[in-house]
Structure 1
Amino acid sequence: MLSLEIIFISSSIGFILSSIMIDDIFGFLFSLFLLTLAGAEVSFGLALTILSYRKFDNIFLNNLTRLKS
Structure 2
Amino acid sequence: MVWGISVFKLSIPFIIFFIGLSGIFLNRRNIIILLMSVELMLLSINFGFILFSVYLDDIVGQIFSLLVLTVAAAESAIGLAILVIYYRVRKTISIESIRLMKG
TM-score by length of 1: 0.79
- Say what the alpha-carbon RMSD is for the aligned residues: 1.9
Greater share of helix residues, 1 or 2?
1
The 1:48/1:68 distance shift into structure 2, 3 A limit, reads farther
Aligned to 2:70: 36
Larger RCO of the pair (alpha carbons < 8 Å, separation 6+):
2
Picking from 32, 39, 57, the partner of 2:91 is 57
Tell me how far 1:62 sits from its aligned partner: 3.5
Contact 1:15/1:28, CA 8 A, preserved across alignment: yes
Unmatched 5+ stretches in structure 1:
none
Aligned to 2:60: 26
- Paired letter, 2:74: A
Unmatched 5+ stretches in structure 2:
1-34
Structure 1: 4+ residue segments shifted above 4 A: 65-69
Tell me how far 1:65 sits from its aligned partner: 4.6
Secondary structure of the structure 2 residue equivalent to 1:58: coil
**When the two structures are aligned, how many residues end up with a matched partner?**
69
1:4 aligns with 2:38: yes
